[in-house]
């Protein structure tokens, strides 16, 4: 089955060996999220220093798409400025794994691909809103998260 | 009808959707029958015929169309009563489906009969529809919800029921006749007899039993029984709540509105007779009439023949699947103790990945938690794959399922 549009070598490899998998000790942000229909369920852990994502990890159970996308997202976002997180769009993540087509072809599986991004956007929002008591700085992250899929 | 596999294969011509090709021009292999079954032409045509020739509201107007519609609607009620050996068809209440039936009982019976400290007993292998309504009720009433656990075979540990009954606080025991995930057939008669001696009411979720085996409600003698039409060749949006007349008569109504009333005054209302007291508003007339054709279709084949056909398919599938390395099968290994439902996991591949890959081969199964998260927790898995069979499935289709799993192995380099 070479040329499978979803299950590429990269996705299978990441699902077997996810990157940044595990917990952070004393994380500043913990965000849990799940897809009620398929059973994907992850926790995202973040530390923020100087307005940068100084560390990020995830753990949980999910399908190959969810595991691969969570891995790649954490790789892409680690060390980035919070302003970059605000700008970060789902297309960038999907393109990294060649999954842009899911938006059109699989409204069900797109949820697996974007679960971690949803957790990230919500997590950063809650950091500003609850920890820093500064919801304005979070901008429309919450709205973006709730409209991801 | 003779119950040979050829005669069952003959039935396929009545189901237009089974000729579908899906994805890359693959023949559809539909093995998601526990979710919903396909519909034969007889049912589809009856619904069209109703809208084309008879459409009218029922029970009120005196014109010709209204009389025809009312007659066909009520004839379905009688047919269902006969199908389940219910003596009085006024005990057949039309609802949207199993979920609504259970909610009706939880709301209308539960609110009047369950008090603080009382116990409702359910089981670990229930569908969410037989858990959540009872959580809502017990939370509102400060009552308790208790579970009968399952053993390693996926069977209920019945001794736990004895312990609950000894407390004297149990008001209702509610369980699925056949588990929608494990296929386990519950020991319904044993449970009912224990509850009878304790004076406790029994509700049975028959969503996975009525479509697949002969059910005789007079012989079974529970208090409530609910099931859905769409899991037995009928249209979506039609289900049945059966309950004993004495109970229904004492129960408060569920929904208020038209048809369920006798007289309405500014500040008080008297209720209509059974079954109309529980059927407020214009019902799903067309689909109820279509459902009659589904029952006729099943009766013609014979429920015992259907059970035997599914048993044969289940035995065949279990034998084949046991031989695949890396497969985990859930539920009892004895086919006679289960319905035509097989839940499995394949190595450590997430069920959603299995489902997506075999879908490309045209195989439709269900991947997920099957609305049974309590059971998933017990099995300690996030989800399972589930293949479920019905009258039109063949051994060749099971072969396609088995070979499609080879694709999964290839993709995941197992």
For B26-46, the three-class secondary structure string (H helix, E strand, C coil) is EECEECECCCCCCCCHHHHHH
Distance in angstroms (rounded) separating the CA atoms of residues B90 and A62? 48
Residue A17 reports pLDDT greater than 70: yes
User: Do residues B225 and B331 share a domain?
Assistant: no
* pLDDT tens track for B301-334: 999 999 999 999 999 999 999 999 999 999 999 9
User: Do residues B370 and B293 share a domain?
Assistant: no
Q: Is B195 a catalytic residue?
A: no
Domain boundary among B252, B277, B299: B299
User: Do residues B194 and B319 share a domain?
Assistant: no
**What average pLDDT score do residues A67-89 get?**
95
Closest CA to A11 of A118, A112, A120, A148: A112
- Which residue is listed with tokens 């956007």? A121
The DSSP 8-state label assigned to residue A25 in this structure reads S
Residue A62 touches partner B, C-beta closer than 8 Å: yes
Question: Would A122 be classed as within a structural domain?
Answer: yes
Question: Would B38 be classed as within a structural domain?
Answer: no
Question: Would B363 be classed as within a structural domain?
Answer: yes
Angle, CA of B94, B178 and B362, to the nearest 5°:
90
Q: Which domain holds residue B237?
A: 45-299
The DSSP 8-state label assigned to residue B82 in this structure reads H
**What average pLDDT score do residues B9-26 get?**
96
pLDDT band at B2 (very low <50, low <70, confident <90, very high): low
Question: Would B40 be classed as within a structural domain?
Answer: no
Distance in angstroms (rounded) separating the CA atoms of residues B188 and B194? 10
User: Do residues B231 and B116 share a domain?
Assistant: yes
pLDDT of residue A39: 79
User: Do residues B282 and B135 share a domain?
Assistant: yes
Q: How far is B368 from chain A (nearest CA, A)?
A: 5
Question: Would B36 be classed as within a structural domain?
Answer: no
3-class DSSP state of A65: helix
**Complex-level ipTM:** 0.85
Chain B residues in contact with A12 (beta carbon < 8 A): 411-413
Alpha helices, H only, B143-220: 159-166, 188-198, 217-220
pLDDT of residue B242: 98
User: CA nearest B357 in A: which residue?
Assistant: A7
Burial degree of B405 (CB within 10 A; 0-12, 13-18, 19+):
buried
Question: Would A36 be classed as within a structural domain?
Answer: yes
Residue A1 touches partner B, C-beta closer than 8 Å: yes
Residue A18 touches partner B, C-beta closer than 8 Å: no
User: Do residues B184 and B138 share a domain?
Assistant: yes
Closest CA to B217 of B206, B230, B229, B207: B206
Chain B residues in contact with A40 (beta carbon < 8 A): 352, 382
Smallest Cβ–Cβ distance between B382 and the set A12, A15, A61 belongs to A61
3-class DSSP state of B245: helix
Chain A residues in contact with B357 (beta carbon < 8 A): 1, 4, 7
Pairing of strands B261-264, B269-271: antiparallel
Residue A140 dihedral angles phi and psi, to the nearest 5°: -100, 30
3-class DSSP state of B213: coil
CB interface of B with A, residues 334-353, below 8 Å = 349-353
Residue B266 touches partner A, C-beta closer than 8 Å: no
Question: Would B37 be classed as within a structural domain?
Answer: no
* pLDDT tens track for B131-183: 999 999 999 999 999 999 999 999 999 999 999 999 999 999 999 999 999 99
- Which residue is listed with tokens 């985990």? B328
Distance in angstroms (rounded) separating the CA atoms of residues A19 and B11? 51
Question: Would A32 be classed as within a structural domain?
Answer: yes
* pLDDT tens track for B19-33: 999 999 999 999 999
pLDDT band at B57 (very low <50, low <70, confident <90, very high): very high
The kind and range of the H/E element at A56 are strand A52-61
Number of domains in chain B: 2
A and B: number of Cβ contacts within 8 A: 53
How far from chain centre, in Å, is Cα B61?
A: 34
Question: Which residue did the predictor score with more confidence, A2 or B307?
Answer: B307
* pLDDT tens track for A28-37: 999 999 988 7
Domain boundary among B299, B321, B354: B299
Question: Would A100 be classed as within a structural domain?
Answer: yes
Domain boundary among B299, B328, B361: B299
User: Do residues B353 and B211 share a domain?
Assistant: no
Question: Would A38 be classed as within a structural domain?
Answer: yes
pLDDT of residue B221: 97
The conformational region for residue B23 under phi > 0 = left, psi -120 to 50 = alpha, else beta, is left
Question: Would B148 be classed as within a structural domain?
Answer: yes
Q: Please give the structure tokens belonging to residue B219.
A: 């012989």
User: From the candidates B371, B375, B391, B408, which is the catalytic residue?
Assistant: B371
Instruction: Note whether B278 and B105 are within 8 A (CB).
Output: no
Residue B35 touches partner A, C-beta closer than 8 Å: no
Q: Please give the structure tokens belonging to residue B249.
A: 């008569």
User: Do residues B16 and B113 share a domain?
Assistant: no
Question: Would A31 be classed as within a structural domain?
Answer: yes
User: Do residues B288 and B308 share a domain?
Assistant: no
Question: Would B204 be classed as within a structural domain?
Answer: yes
The conformational region for residue A22 under phi > 0 = left, psi -120 to 50 = alpha, else beta, is left
Residue B377 reports pLDDT greater than 90: yes
Q: For residue A72, what is the domain's CATH number? A: 3.90.1010.10
pLDDT band at A3 (very low <50, low <70, confident <90, very high): low
Dihedral of alpha carbons B145, B151, B156, B160, sign: negative
Residue A109 touches partner B, C-beta closer than 8 Å: yes
Question: Would A59 be classed as within a structural domain?
Answer: yes
Distance in angstroms (rounded) separating the CA atoms of residues B207 and B35? 10
Residue B376 touches partner A, C-beta closer than 8 Å: yes
**What average pLDDT score do residues B201-223 get?**
98
User: Do residues B220 and B324 share a domain?
Assistant: no
Residue B234 dihedral angles phi and psi, to the nearest 5°: -85, 175
Residue A60 reports pLDDT greater than 90: yes
What Å distances lie between residue A145 and A28, A57, B306, CA to CA?
A: 19, 19, 48
The kind and range of the H/E element at B76 are helix B64-83
Q: For residue B49, what is the domain's CATH number? A: 3.40.640.10
State whether A12 and B411 contact (CB < 8 Å): yes
User: Do residues B105 and B146 share a domain?
Assistant: yes
Question: Would A1 be classed as within a structural domain?
Answer: no
State whether B368 and A37 contact (CB < 8 Å): yes
State whether B351 and A39 contact (CB < 8 Å): yes
pLDDT band at A1 (very low <50, low <70, confident <90, very high): very low
Q: Which domain holds residue A32?
A: 9-144
Number of domains in chain A: 1
Question: Would B218 be classed as within a structural domain?
Answer: yes
Distance in angstroms (rounded) separating the CA atoms of residues A90 and B224? 50
User: Do residues B319 and B364 share a domain?
Assistant: yes
Pairing of strands B170-176, B119-123: parallel
The CA R_g of chain B, rounded to the nearest whole Å, is 22
* pLDDT tens track for B33-43: 999 999 999 99
CB-based contacts of B398: which residues, under 8 Å, 6+ apart?
B313, B316, B317, B320, B387
């Amino acid at each position: 089955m070479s040329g499978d549009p979803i299950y590429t070598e990269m996705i299978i490899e990441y699902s077997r060996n996810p990157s940044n998998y595990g917990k952070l000790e004393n994380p500043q942000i913990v965000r849990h999220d799940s897809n009620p229909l398929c059973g994907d369920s992850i926790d995202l852990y973040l530390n923020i220093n100087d307005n940068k994502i100084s560390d990020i990890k995830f753990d949980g159970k999910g399908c190959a798409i969810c595991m691969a996308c969570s891995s790649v997202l954490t790789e892409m976002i680690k060390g980035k400025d919070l302003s970059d997180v605000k700008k970060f769009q789902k297309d960038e993540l999907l393109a990294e794994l060649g999954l842009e087509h899911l938006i059109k072809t699989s409204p069900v599986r797109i949820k697996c691909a974007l679960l971690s991004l949803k957790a990230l956007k919500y997590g950063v929002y809650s950091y500003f809103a609850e920890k820093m008591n500064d919801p304005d700085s979070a901008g429309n992250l919450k709205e973006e998260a709730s409209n991801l899929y | 009808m003779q119950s040979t596999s050829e005669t069952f294969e003959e039935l396929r011509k009545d189901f237009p959707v089974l000729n579908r090709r899906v994805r890359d021009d693959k023949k559809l292999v539909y093995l998601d029958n526990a979710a919903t079954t396909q519909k034969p032409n007889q049912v589809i045509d009856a619904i069209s015929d109703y809208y084309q020739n008879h459409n009218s509201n029922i029970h009120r107007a005196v014109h010709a169309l209204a009389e025809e519609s009312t007659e066909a609607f009520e004839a379905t009620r009688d047919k269902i009563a006969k199908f389940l050996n219910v003596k009085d068809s006024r005990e057949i209440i039309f609802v949207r489906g199993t979920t609504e039936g259970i909610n009706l009982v939880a709301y209308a019976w539960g609110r009047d009969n369950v008090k603080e400290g009382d116990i409702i007993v359910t089981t670990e292998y229930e569908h969410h529809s037989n858990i959540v309504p009872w959580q809502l009720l017990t939370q509102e009433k400060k009552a308790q919800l208790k579970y009968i656990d399952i053993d390693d075979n996926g069977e209920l540990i019945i001794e736990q029921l004895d312990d609950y009954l000894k407390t004297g606080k149990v008001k209702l025991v509610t369980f699925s006749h056949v588990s929608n995930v494990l296929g386990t057939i519950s020991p319904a008669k044993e449970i009912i007899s224990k509850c009878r001696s304790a004076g406790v009411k029994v509700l049975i979720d028959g969503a996975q039993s009525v479509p697949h085996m002969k059910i005789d409600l007079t012989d079974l003698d529970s208090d409530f029984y609910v099931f859905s039409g769409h899991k037995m060749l009928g249209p979506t949006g039609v289900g049945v709540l059966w309950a004993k007349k004495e109970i229904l008569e004492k129960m408060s109504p569920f929904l208020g509105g038209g048809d369920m009333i006798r007289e309405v005054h500014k500040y008080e209302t008297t209720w209509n007779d059974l079954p109309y007291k529980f059927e407020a508003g214009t019902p799903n007339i067309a689909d109820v009439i279509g459902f009659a054709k589904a029952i006729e279709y099943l009766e013609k084949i014979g429920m015992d023949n259907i059970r035997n056909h599914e048993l044969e398919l289940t035995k065949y599938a279990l034998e084949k699947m046991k031989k695949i390395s890396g497969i985990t099968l859930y539920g009892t290994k004895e086919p006679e103790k289960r319905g035509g439902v097989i839940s499995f996991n394949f190595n450590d591949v997430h069920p959603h990945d299995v489902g997506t890959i075999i879908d490309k081969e045209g195989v439709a199964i269900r991947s997920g938690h099957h609305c049974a998260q309590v059971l998933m927790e017990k099995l300690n898995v996030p989800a399972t794959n589930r293949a479920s069979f019905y009258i039109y499935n063949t051994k060749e289709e099971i072969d396609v399922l088995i070979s499609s799993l080879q694709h999964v192995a290839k993709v995941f380099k197992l």
